[in-house]
Amino acid sequence: MATIKDVAKMAHVSVATVSRVINQKGYVNSETKQLVLDAIKELNYVPNELARSLFQKKSSIIAVIVPHLTSYYFAELLEYIENYTVNLDYRLMVCNSQDDPDKESKYLKIFDQYNIDGIILISNTHRIDDYKKLNIPIVEIDHKLAEDIPSIQSNNFLGGKLAAQKLVNNGCKKIIHFRGPSDLVTVQERTKGFKSVLEKNQIFNFSYDLDFRAPSASDIDNVIKSNLDCDGVFCDSDYIAILAIQAIKDAGKRIPEDIQVIGFDDIEIADVLRPRLTTIAQSRKEMGEYAVTALMKLIHKEKLEPFDRNIDVKLIERDTTI
């Protein structure tokens, strides 16, 4: 494999001259430049991208940090982010923190050492100040952890409200809410929207906390079997809703005749299930596009308006509701 020294030798110039041509830094006369470009072509020389990034203080790499990769929602969101990133001639570094402080520390060092151009932060980190100290442009998705960092979020309050209103309109009188961890802002907002409708209509309801990544199927099964008189279930993710549907079927109840179910996210499998899942759709496409677009503006020091964005969600009616 050819090196930069091989190129310099063939073009009869110094390594520094080759470097200036490759990085487009400093003056090189047109004749010498062409000699270098011809040598690069003949030797099929590929510049060392890491060396270039260290020299230019620019890597053309966007890092996205997520809490886990097993989520259907995150997987679909990452696909959109990658498409937009690649189309802008940037590369994507996907970092799976798994909510592990040690892994997160290693990623923070990598971001600093490799001149990462920007960070899309999806993980619900407790180290936002450490990210800010990197002086790397950051955009948050699904969270608002600092007032001086732009964010994009779904209208989670509206999502909870739409789900509750649908179940109330369909005559439900006892509703279970299977939600994610109640310390998450997204979960809190969905709960507020959900309860705002039910309390207004004096509908009995209660919430049960689950892990988003690995919700307990046995816990869901136990709650359903202990409340066979319930007629409505709202879940904070479609994956949780899938487990709830199975528990309802195992209990000998019919969907939607006996118990109606609404999920959240509208992942692809929601329309493949039987019965097909009624759910709250949040646009991963729009969120991914805005996150990348906003980050590019920050990288190029352009004005960003709006600084924060809240995307409305919508109810997708299918077979698990009347």
In a domain, 322, yes or no: no
Task: Tell me, yes or no, whether 223 and 259 share the same domain.
Answer: yes
Burial category of 114 from C-beta neighbours within 10 Å (exposed 0-12, middle 13-18, buried 19 and up) = middle
At 190 the pLDDT is 97
Task: Tell me, yes or no, whether 278 and 290 share the same domain.
Answer: no
Task: Tell me, yes or no, whether 289 and 278 share the same domain.
Answer: no
CATH code (residue 207): 3.40.50.2300
Report if pTM > 0.85: no
Q: Which two tokens stand for residue 207?
A: 């919430």
Burial 129-140 (b: 16+ CB within 10 A, else e): eebeeeebbbbb
In a domain, 55, yes or no: no
At 70 the pLDDT is 84
In a domain, 162, yes or no: yes
Handedness of CA 17, 18, 24, 25 (dihedral sign): negative
In a domain, 318, yes or no: no
Task: Tell me, yes or no, whether 70 and 14 share the same domain.
Answer: no
At 125 the pLDDT is 87
Q: Which two tokens stand for residue 18?
A: 């080759």
pLDDT tens sequence for the chain (322 residues): 788 899 999 999 999 998 888 877 789 999 999 999 999 999 988 776 555 554 555 678 999 999 888 888 999 999 999 999 999 989 999 999 988 889 999 999 989 887 899 999 998 888 999 999 999 999 999 988 899 999 999 999 999 999 999 999 999 999 999 999 999 889 999 999 999 999 999 999 999 999 998 999 999 999 999 999 999 999 999 999 999 999 999 999 999 999 999 999 999 999 999 999 999 999 999 999 999 999 999 999 999 988 899 999 999 999 999 9
CA angle 80, 118, 211 (to 5 degrees): 60
At 48 the pLDDT is 65
Distances in whole angstroms, Cα of residue 129 to Cα of each of 96, 115, 181, 298: 19, 18, 23, 18
Task: Tell me, yes or no, whether 274 and 168 share the same domain.
Answer: yes
Burial category of 29 from C-beta neighbours within 10 Å (exposed 0-12, middle 13-18, buried 19 and up) = exposed
Q: How far apart are CA 66 and CA 94, in angstroms?
A: 8
In the block, tokens 């990769």 appear at 69
Number of domains in the chain: 3
In a domain, 321, yes or no: no
Task: Tell me, yes or no, whether 13 and 26 share the same domain.
Answer: yes
Amino acid identity, residue 85? T
Write out the residue range of the structural domain in which residue 12 sits: 4-47
In a domain, 56, yes or no: no
